[in-house]
Amino acid sequence: MYPLYSDKPNLFECSIQLEGCSLNDASARLIIESEQNSLVFNGEIDNTGACLIPVKKLKGIVSEGGNMKLEVIADDMYFSPWESEYELLQSKQVTVEVKTPSSKPKLFESKKPKVNVSFKKPVPQPRKQKRVVKETRKEFSKRELQSLLNRLRG
C-alpha cells in the first residue's frame, strides 16, 4: 500500500527502463482513483530514467483509500507498468492525554500588596482649521503679470 499525504505535497519517484525506444520521447503520468473522482498528475523522465511526478495536496479531493497507477507513453505505445492501492495519511498529528484531578485544586492567595491599574482615555486635541484656497480664473494684463513677477522675485 502506497502512502499519500493529504496535508502536504507528495512526490512520486521511480526509475524507468525502456527497451526499443528512447527515454527522450517518453512521458509519464500518475493516476489516482478514488470513490469520489480520478486525478491525473503529469511527470517528467530524465535521460537516466529517473521519473518524478509532483502530486499536490489531496485534502478534500480524494477519499482515504483507492487505487493508483503509473502510465508511461513511449513511441505511441501505452504501458501501465505499476499499480497499487494507496492510503491517505496526514503528516501532522496531535495526541492528547487528559488527566482528571484526583482532589480539589489548591487555590493560592498572595500576601503581596494588591495593585489596581486604571487606564485613562486620552483627551482629544482640538483640530486645527485648514486653510481653504479657492481657485479663480482671471485674465491678467501684461502689466499686471509683470508686477506680480516682480513682487514674487522680491
Closest CA to 53 of 28, 80, 88, 87: 28
Average pLDDT over residues 44-51: 92
Least confident of 52-61, 66-75, 88-97, 126-135: 126-135
Distance between alpha carbon 16 and the CA centroid of its chain, in Å? 32
Please give the Cα distance from 38 to 85 (Å, whole number).
Answer: 13
Please give the Cα distance from 34 to 41 (Å, whole number).
Answer: 14
Q: What is the pLDDT of residues 64-97, one digit of tens each?
A: 889 999 999 998 889 999 999 999 998 887 888 8
Query: Residue 107 pLDDT more than 70?
Result: no
Please give the Cα distance from 99 to 97 (Å, whole number).
Answer: 6
Please give the Cα distance from 64 to 92 (Å, whole number).
Answer: 16
- CA angle (36 as vertex; 95, 61 as ends), nearest 5: 50
- Percent of the chain exceeding pLDDT 70 equals 84
Please give the Cα distance from 143 to 152 (Å, whole number).
Answer: 14
Assign 27 a pLDDT band (cuts: 50, 70, 90). very high
pTM of this prediction exceeds 0.85: no
The reported pLDDT for the residue numbered 115 is: 65
Q: What is the mean pLDDT of the chain?
A: 85
Identify the DSSP state of 108.
P
